[in-house]
Structure 1
Amino acid sequence: MKNNQSTKSQQKLSFFFKLLNWYSDQLFIARIMAIISVLNFGVVIFDLTYIPLRDIWLNGKVTVGKIKIASHEFNGITFKILPQSLREKIIKYDAIKGIEPYRDTQEYLEEVKRLEKSINQSGLDSEETAKILYNLREMSASMISEDPFRIANKSGTLEIIKNRMREHMSIYIDNPRDSSTVAFTSFWTKNHLKNNNLERQLTFFNKQIKPLIRTNFFRPMGENGQFVDYFGLIDFPFIVIIFYDFILRCLFISIRYEGVKIQDAILWRWYDLIFFLPTFRWLRIIPIIIRLDEAKLLDSKRIKKQLSKGFVAQIAGDITQVVILRIVNQVQKTIEKGEIEKILFKEEDRREYINLNNVNETAEIIKILMNLVAYEMLPEIRPEVEILLTYIFEKTITESPIYQNINYLPLLKNFPQDISNKLATQSYQIFLNTINNMLKEDLIFEQHLEQIINKSVKIMSLRPNAKYDINKIEELLVILLEEVKVNYIQQLSEEDIEALMKN
């Protein structure tokens, strides 16, 4: 009986593992989850931008090019981008953000509606209209002094309202202090409306002032000290789906790879944890890009390549600068310690020079340079050198006193040019042969070369002013290296970085 139960349990586990393996390997499931993640991010972006863009959703208008420089103001161009039916649907999102109409500004607009109704029914001279105008003057003064826009962080909107009313009333009243309160209270008077085209004045208010007052709102505070926000109700279903997908994939990783525990699998998919952060929701773009790449809906190779190039280029620049600076600094210190002088002027108390390979590097370097000159450079420049030598020989012959005395002879007219060409060709060939013979493997030649080098150093060291000259050279080399650091190494230009990134 127990064996049967154990067998059934194993079969269930085996079926679960197969189902888990199938789920994790299906590309279409990865694509569905990637699309769900993108939709969630779209909702997040809309939520984050809703309040900053609420004025657009409310009025459906965007003004481009409106700027103010000193006393000059450019109104710009206003575009109507959303139909009213769509705006009314979008603005219902106020309920999610806990936004309510601000009581004072809402009552202000309601009072204006009552004024328009009273004028249509009773006219401007009625007592009811007079009472409403009085209320509007009182409410205007209160709005300006108390700033009901402050709670919604829209005090700037109130300043725009005040500026527009001051500018509008400047042609109708004398307002020496440029008071916005005087402008508003003068606007809401029977004489002003009656004497200055009632319909025009109300149109100004409805088009220029009312849309701005409508943008004000009130957001209550929650018990956590933050504004009321019900976005979590929209976000929660997405997070539940993504969470289950995350758990299943972590289980799959821990089962497929031996020795990987569930907590290690969670770290394996660390980027999905960003979905579950209560704040900084915009960071979800990171796991979304990775999921889109895994689902083959986005090729992130180019992005990764550019990011890695920028990183590598910057690090390469920094490392190169540091390494070269250290090398130059070490060379400077070596020169400042007088190592050149110690090499040229052997002192008895100087520590023995350590030869690592029993090879005279100086002689080898000279041989390499001579090989380069003999086999690469000299054959290439031979025509030019021969022309120069011909010119030198010809000039020497024609300017010699002997030739000056016999140059009138016809047979000697072309003598300088002919002999110069032969001398130049033969001289250059002899020089090349000599160099080639010198470069052949010859131990005796190497011994002579080493003797020449050693004797040259000795002769240099025996000169009366040798030490002074060497010290001067060391001093100049130190300054030269410092200039190299300042002018080249420490100023690794942006062009060098860009060149690295293009490769």
Structure 2
Amino acid sequence: MARPRWQRPRPRSTGVRGLVWDRFVAIWATINLAWVAFDLTYVPLRTFWLQRNLYPIPSAPLAVPLTFIPDITPWVDPIKGIEPHRETSTFLQAFSELERVMASPAADPALQTRLLQRQAELMAQMIDSNPFLASDRAGTLEKIKNRLRQRVDRDSAKESARLLLSREWLERHSWARELQFWREQVLPLVETNYWRSIDENGRPTDHFWRIDLLLFQSVFLLDILQRLIRIKRRLPGLRWDEVLLRRWTDLPLLLPFWRWLRVLPVAERLQTSGLVNLEPLRAVVSRGVVALLAVELFEVLALQLLDGIQGLIRSRHWPERIRALRSHQSVTSSSEERELAELVRIWAPLLLAEVAPRLAPELQGVLGYTLRQSLDRTVVPPPLRQLKPLLQVESGVSRQLAAGMVDSLLELSRSAGQRLAQRDDAQLDLLQRFVDRFWDELALALERGPALERSQDLLCALLEQLKGTYLSQISRAGIESLLRELDALTVAAAPKGSSSVSPPAEPPTPRA
């Protein structure tokens, strides 16, 4: 698509230092945008960053391990105010102690039984208190309860946990197999729980703004100040508030909220610095928006235009409007500039002195044919029409008469055209008087006769028919064909070797 004027690539910064700085800020802003996206999605995706497992089917325990991703939760959790939950941490520590005792061959069976009972009590307590509500993960406890029920085929999750952690169950099932069940299906879900502190404003603790302010927004503020100074030096007549308005797109870089809006200034910096060419993406988005809105926009504009024309046509002040076209009543006319009379003075010599003489053969043919038909019907009697010599004489006479008449008329028009081509104030006054008299007579004729109402009715009916035919033919398919035609014209008009890449920098306009 053709690029709008307001979206043409802006000239790049002059000088190597300015270009290097702009590209550094563009890269730094891109890193900040990625950091903002990571911060906004960290809490919802903390389970993934903690376990580095991908679950293709959420309802199934099938996991795809991504061990090459490092565990970043120990560094990011303090920034978000996340701490281990006491209840789930106690459960995990008790299970670690139970695993150590059960793996020891010389362990006391009474100690093992006591640890199993304590683990069952902790599980029952966790089911009753539901500590996952603190992290908005109530569904995690339901997953644990469902897996416990499915393991022993019972209706109660507490009874299922008590049975799984009993000596009777472990005597019939090996501890290694049960330990695998707990490690793979229960403990990973318990580990996902956490507790998040609250600041003095009653909101979850988040120290992201400190990193954003120190590492990124300070650089953005320096860059924005440099850009404002450049604009002020280039256009010293602008006030500082007008300069600030010219860089309103940089505001999201300094806002501590709505940080996802930073994608707009980041894209603008990547485009202007020449690191990324976003013009194809902009063209696709513009094409989609135009395709969606063009039909409604065209219909509204066309309907408004036709309604306005109908309102003018139905007005009873047509004669007054026509009289207002006279030179002494027109608001826009002046004694020095008589547009209509000047136009007649230019076109009349053009038609009479240049166009009409070139039509001499055609005019002679038409006039000669007309004279021959008249002579044949009035002068030559019917019995003599069969004589060929007489017909030849008649044809020659008609050609001579036609040639003489055409030559006389063309000589008259040529002389009149040459006369009109000369600058003459009296001639302009006569032409102006003729035009004014024409408007007066036309307005008087419309006032006296029925032509005004009849013309209004016919024109309004014509516009109504135009509404029904033209507006009904507007469709999205037609808009798509127009867009394709516009693309073809744009490509055909583009010079060879040109592309949609940003053109080279234009030299700054010298100031007067």
User: For the aligned residues, what is the CA RMSD?
Assistant: 3.8
Residue 495, structure 1, aligned to residue 472, structure 2: no
Question: Structure 1 residues 182-191 or 116-125, which shifts more?
Answer: 116-125
Gaps of 5+ in 2: 1-12, 326-460, 487-512
Given candidates 284, 288, 291, the residue that maps to 2:269 is 291
Counterparts of residues 206-355 of structure 1 (less than 5 Å) = 206-235=183-212, 236-325=214-303
Given candidates 28, 47, 51, the residue that maps to 2:43 is 51
Q: Distance in 2 between matches of 1:231 and 1:354?
A: 70
Q: Distance in 1 between matches of 2:16 and 2:199?
A: 41
User: How far 1:94 sits from its partner (Å)?
Assistant: 1.2
User: How far 1:124 sits from its partner (Å)?
Assistant: 7.8
* Matching residue of 1:118: 101
Q: Distance in 1 between matches of 2:242 and 2:183?
A: 63
Residue 127, structure 1, aligned to residue 110, structure 2: yes
Aligned pairs, how many? 339
User: How far 1:252 sits from its partner (Å)?
Assistant: 2.4
* Matching residue of 1:446: none
Question: Structure 1 residues 52-61 or 301-310, which shifts more?
Answer: 301-310
Distance 1:497 1:112, change over 3 A: farther
User: How far 1:102 sits from its partner (Å)?
Assistant: 0.7
Distance 1:76 1:151, change over 3 A: closer
Distance 1:305 1:182, change over 3 A: same
Distance 1:250 1:325, change over 3 A: closer
Q: Give the conservation status (yes or no) of the 8 Å contact 1:271–1:286.
A: yes
Q: Distance in 1 between matches of 2:309 and 2:230?
A: 58
Residue 80, structure 1, aligned to residue 65, structure 2: yes
Distance 1:30 1:481, change over 3 A: closer
How big is each residue's C-alpha offset from its partner over 1:263-322, in whole Å with a ceiling of 9 and x where there is no partner?
A: 322221111111111111111111001111111112222233334444444443223212
User: How far 1:155 sits from its partner (Å)?
Assistant: 0.8
User: How far 1:325 sits from its partner (Å)?
Assistant: 4.3
Residue 185, structure 1, aligned to residue 162, structure 2: yes
Question: Structure 1 residues 298-307 or 221-230, which shifts more?
Answer: 298-307
Supply the AA of the counterpart residue of 1:118: V
Q: Distance in 1 between matches of 2:308 and 2:270?
A: 51
Provide the secondary structure at the position in 2 that maps to 1:297. coil
Q: Distance in 2 between matches of 1:286 and 1:258?
A: 27
Supply the AA of the counterpart residue of 1:319: L
Residue 98, structure 1, aligned to residue 98, structure 2: no
Q: Give the conservation status (yes or no) of the 8 Å contact 1:321–1:490.
A: no
Q: Distance in 1 between matches of 2:231 and 2:304?
A: 47
Greater RCO (Cα-Cα under 8 Å, separation 6 or more): 2
Given candidates 21, 32, 36, the residue that maps to 2:24 is 32
Residue 61, structure 1, aligned to residue 50, structure 2: no
* Matching residue of 2:414: none
Residue 142, structure 1, aligned to residue 105, structure 2: no
Distance 1:149 1:219, change over 3 A: same
User: How far 1:326 sits from its partner (Å)?
Assistant: 5.3
Q: Give the conservation status (yes or no) of the 8 Å contact 2:32–2:216.
A: yes
Q: Give the conservation status (yes or no) of the 8 Å contact 1:23–1:29.
A: no
Distance 1:24 1:190, change over 3 A: same
User: How far 1:183 sits from its partner (Å)?
Assistant: 1.4
Residue 163, structure 1, aligned to residue 146, structure 2: yes
Distance 1:489 1:193, change over 3 A: farther
Distance 1:26 1:332, change over 3 A: closer
Supply the AA of the counterpart residue of 1:82: T
Q: Give the conservation status (yes or no) of the 8 Å contact 1:63–1:79.
A: yes
Distance 1:89 1:278, change over 3 A: closer
Q: Distance in 1 between matches of 2:240 and 2:309?
A: 55
Supply the AA of the counterpart residue of 2:229: L
Q: Give the conservation status (yes or no) of the 8 Å contact 1:313–1:500.
A: no
User: How far 1:39 sits from its partner (Å)?
Assistant: 1.2
Question: Structure 1 residues 182-191 or 308-317, which shifts more?
Answer: 308-317
Q: Distance in 1 between matches of 2:308 and 2:221?
A: 58
Q: Give the conservation status (yes or no) of the 8 Å contact 2:88–2:131.
A: yes
Q: Give the conservation status (yes or no) of the 8 Å contact 1:149–1:155.
A: yes
Provide the secondary structure at the position in 2 that maps to 1:247. helix
Q: Distance in 2 between matches of 1:248 and 1:188?
A: 68
Q: Distance in 2 between matches of 1:62 and 1:318?
A: 45
Q: Distance in 2 between matches of 1:253 and 1:326?
A: 41
Q: Distance in 2 between matches of 1:262 and 1:481?
A: 52
User: How far 1:164 sits from its partner (Å)?
Assistant: 1.2
Distance 1:141 1:489, change over 3 A: farther
Normalising by structure 2, we get a TM-score of 0.58
Q: Give the conservation status (yes or no) of the 8 Å contact 2:253–2:259.
A: yes
* Matching residue of 1:153: 136
Provide the secondary structure at the position in 2 that maps to 1:224. coil
Q: Give the conservation status (yes or no) of the 8 Å contact 2:270–2:276.
A: yes
Counterparts of residues 384-395 of structure 1 (less than 5 Å) = none
Q: Give the conservation status (yes or no) of the 8 Å contact 2:220–2:254.
A: no
* Matching residue of 1:453: none
Normalising by structure 1, we get a TM-score of 0.59
User: How far 1:46 sits from its partner (Å)?
Assistant: 1.4
Supply the AA of the counterpart residue of 1:272: D
Distance 1:133 1:323, change over 3 A: same
Gaps of 5+ in 1: 1-20, 69-74, 338-350, 358-475
Q: Give the conservation status (yes or no) of the 8 Å contact 1:24–1:249.
A: no
User: How far 1:489 sits from its partner (Å)?
Assistant: 3.8
Aligned-pair identity (%): 30
User: How far 1:246 sits from its partner (Å)?
Assistant: 1.1
User: How far 1:220 sits from its partner (Å)?
Assistant: 0.6
Distance 1:311 1:165, change over 3 A: same
Distance 1:261 1:25, change over 3 A: farther
Residue 107, structure 1, aligned to residue 53, structure 2: no
Distance 1:241 1:77, change over 3 A: same
User: How far 1:195 sits from its partner (Å)?
Assistant: 1.5
Provide the secondary structure at the position in 2 that maps to 1:26. helix
Q: Give the conservation status (yes or no) of the 8 Å contact 2:209–2:256.
A: no
Q: Give the conservation status (yes or no) of the 8 Å contact 1:314–1:497.
A: no
Q: Give the conservation status (yes or no) of the 8 Å contact 2:101–2:112.
A: yes
Distance 1:242 1:481, change over 3 A: closer
Provide the secondary structure at the position in 2 that maps to 1:31. helix
* Matching residue of 1:205: 182
How big is each residue's C-alpha offset from its partner over 1:444-472, in whole Å with a ceiling of 9 and x where there is no partner?
A: xxxxxxxxxxxxxxxxxxxxxxxxxxxxx
Supply the AA of the counterpart residue of 1:232: W
Supply the AA of the counterpart residue of 2:255: L
Q: Give the conservation status (yes or no) of the 8 Å contact 1:293–1:299.
A: yes
